[in-house]
Structure 1
């Protein structure tokens, strides 16, 4: 009997243990099922570096190829940073419209932090009250419709000077890329600083700045390896460029404060004047580093966007003689023998606008829009995206997506006929300037320069490639940095049309 009682006790204890283990297992399974995240598809990754080896030196192309396998939303691991890559119009719309507020911040990256005065402008600063105030200043004070219109004489004068130089160079081979850099630098200098810097190597400084901005810093993605950036000299080079820009901008600001700039440009206020006036307001929180950061961003973004857009558009027109002929017929009809196309004439040039839209589709100035960062957990297209995830929008791939564009690699301006595409990012198949809160605020400044430059060049000149190269053989190889440039500068010879 005692043996039976002991056996009964043992069985009861064993049964209780089984029940307890079963209960714990059920609870754990229930907990896991409730907390299991639906993560976007991801390619296999390597230890420490994650998926960096698959991004490579040609990221817009490589990410497009990966998206064809893993889908329009995929999650990469860049070192210790999760990165969401969007490669379709639908995904871009979800990020930049439906969930724009959740995805409108910027990650803290080493290079912008050094080069742009602690990311104190609007391009790289995180979302918050300070950013909103600066964005308002840029949109309402620096780049309003009235303000942009007031710079019309600057644009027309500089383009007139470029046309004169082209005319004097007839019969020789001209580096159009260098000419476009000079044009955009002169316009941006006069608008932002009040004068050109003849004899000052600021063009090279801007070029070094843009190249440095694109340098990969391992510490931004693998913090415990940040010492590598110091050892290989990246940090030192960036600090040197930042110091040179700081000295330049300090001189400019002091000249404006002391009214020593000495150039009367039809009493037109430049960006520095406007920002210094705003700083005098007792309620202003605009500080010196923000002024310098805003000016520097105007230099970098304005110069690079306009230069690359004009060069790619001219290259596509040369490579596609039928489009060139059609555009020349339009500008000739509108120009009616005048010495120059004016900005007022641009409104009557519908085909010119189609040409530029098509060029921007194929050659989006910033192929990967500046990275965003999620500020909170988000449910996106059925996937769970964690706060702190970096977001990369492949605008280049979206502009060449066969789901949105017929024969996407062909240059066909007519595809934009009878469409409602605007430069303001309202149709997400075409987002050369981004969309949402972090869209480019300089659209209405850049587009008139691009249109006016292209219209006047094709109005005044016929172009031929050197050394007997056929138009259809023009090399269109890309080189990717912060912007997408031609690997080989556009070289042409020009002859007057009349």
Structure 2
């Protein structure tokens, strides 16, 4: 309560200061009259209390009352929330040029990450340079094709881990196993080595990455009350400084080792992402430098590992909750690939039902429920209303994915809705936008759409699954927790059962035959 009183007092002074400043400058810019509708804000704090712990759900509820475009006052930040495909098209396509900049959370200014991350920098020549690096040196189709064997090996290790649990009669923590696999797949692509091994201190990345997702994703008072930035209260920014530094220390060690190797005459070029980026650093015609490399890699690791793991965990949850859909997927895999076999990336195109499961999962559980916040550079019209200059613009893809005017039985997991459909996730179909759209579309989309189907398809083709004792499809906890990526509130644990008998090798090298 004392903290709230402090905020109110500071902002009364802040508001008075701003008013006097405007008067001194000859008056304030007139506010547009045709702003979108929305709930009446309270003094000072505005509509902050209406966000709740799960803002994507609270905002979807408000949209049902006020319409698909609403205005909120979150402290001192005017926020416009979009909740329909047609309006999302206007923002991401028609007005992409004036709405592409970010409202940068105060937390990500830690270590100047907002100035060096493609996710946060304003659209500019530097932004286009960063996007070129991602598209040419990290996520280019040719490069992904060349290192698909590394991802296949990591999926093979995932299968082995699950097989060991099956032999021991132990449940698998799906999110943990998927996180390890996705992180190591990215690590091998970049560093040609695993980042998570039992004796490897880099294993702490798991918790650090998750904490980063939480800190960046959750509402922060400093975003809505500028005076809190002025007085320098420690909070999310300080915690992110600590988390970022832990990852940078690991990167520094790996980069220094690689630089040392490159000086040795007998050194063999790895030709991985790190080697390519170090070549760019050495190229005097490039503007890439070592600090920027670390910030690039930070985004790849954080966004790539946790979002992939969380999405796969939700997909497995939906299949265990809808066993008839799991059987349909297994029948397709059995027919096309063969029962009990690991699938490869080249197989994905021949598995339409598996692809439909991935799309349906993205519809119900989008990676980022509100996407990353945009900021309008000038007044513009959307849906007949004015979005004022400087407003935060959020696109509630979670609400769009559950809109009954767009989808039949929107709360029901029905992959069949995508069979024979041209709807894709690549930013051109505005009813399904898990990766965003426009010039800010997620650059990691090509990697995600390779890894997710391969991991999911392999797990359900090689194993049958059942929930832990006492858990049924009817009482399975489906609550989520809000962050930069929606995570399950409760980890999914499931019992694997091999679909065919095979020899499995445990960590100690001893062979065991599955029952």
3-state SS, counterpart of residue 421 of structure 2: coil
Offset of residue 362 of structure 1:
0.3
Secondary structure in 1 matching 2:474: helix
Counterpart of 1:172 (choices 163, 170, 173) is 170
CA distance in 2, matches of 1:292, 1:111: 18
Pairs aligned (count): 463
**Deviation readout 1:295-317 (Å, 9 max, x if unpaired):** 00001110122101111111111
Give the drift of 1:154: 1.2
Does the C-alpha gap of structure 1 residues 455 and 261 become closer, same or farther in structure 2, counting only changes over 3 Å? farther
1:107 CA drift (Å): 1.6
| Aligned counterpart, 2:104 | 108
**C-alpha separation in 1, matches of 2:479 and 2:429:** 28
Structure 1 residues 449-468: aligned runs within 5 Å: 449-468=451-470
Q: Secondary structure at the match of 1:411?
A: coil
Counterpart among 405, 410, 413 of residue 411 in structure 1: 413
Q: How is 1:274-423 mapped onto 2 (pairs within 5 angstroms)?
A: 274-337=276-339, 339-423=341-425
Give the alignment partner of residue 180 of structure 2, picking from 164, 176, 182. Answer: 182
So what's the TM-score if we normalise by structure 2? 0.86
Query: Contact 1:116–1:242 (CA<8 Å) still a contact in 2?
Result: no
Identify if the C-alpha distance between structure 1 residues 83 and 115 changes in structure 2 by more than 3 Å, giving closer, same or farther. farther
Candidates 134, 138, 150, aligned match of 2:134: 138
* Equivalent of 1:54 in 40, 46, 50: 50
State the shift of 1:337 in Å: 5.0
SS at structure 1 position matched to 2:113: coil
Instruction: Tell me the distance in 1 between the aligned counterparts of 2:428 and 2:223.
Output: 32
Q: Give the Cα–Cα distance (whole angstroms) in 2 for the partners of residues 332 and 438 of structure 1.
A: 38
Aligned counterparts of 1:441 and 1:182: Cα–Cα separation in 2? 21
> Once the two structures are superposed, what CA deviation does each residue of 1:180-207 show, in whole Å capped at 9, x if it has no partner?
1111111121112321133222222212
1:204 has 2:202 as partner = no
Shift of 1:135: 0.7
Residue 90 (structure 1) aligns with: 86
Instruction: State the 1:467 CA deviation.
Output: 1.3
Runs of 4+ in 1 over 3 A off after TM superposition: none
SS in 2 for 1:454: helix
TM-score norm. by structure 1 comes to 0.89
Say if 1:272 and 1:295, in contact at 8 Å, map to a contact too. no
For structure 2, the residue ranges without an aligned partner over 5 or more in a row are 1-29, 501-515
Counterpart in the other structure of 2:145: 149
Cα pair 1:279 1:286 within 8 Å, conserved: yes
Is the partner of 2:36 in helix, strand or coil?
A: coil
Whether the 8 Å contact between 2:152 and 2:344 is mirrored in structure 1 is yes
Please show how residues 214-225 of structure 1 align to structure 2 within 5 Å.
Answer: 214-225=217-228
Q: Which one is further off, 468-477 or 129-138?
A: 468-477
What's the offset of the Cα at 1:261? 12
Kept after mapping to 2: 8 A contact 1:192/1:298: no
Distance (whole Å) between structure 2 residues aligned to residue 213 and residue 152 of structure 1: 31
Distance 1:460 1:106 in 2: 43
- How far is the alpha carbon of 1:288 from its aligned partner? 2.6
8 A contact 1:255–1:261 mirrored in 2: no
> Do the aligned partners of 1:218 and 1:228 also contact (CA within 8 Å) in 2?
no
Other structure's SS at 1:365 match: coil
Alpha carbons 1:38, 1:384 under 8 Å: kept = yes
8 A contact 1:42–1:76 mirrored in 2: yes
In 2, Cα distance between the equivalents of 1:413 and 1:47?
Answer: 46
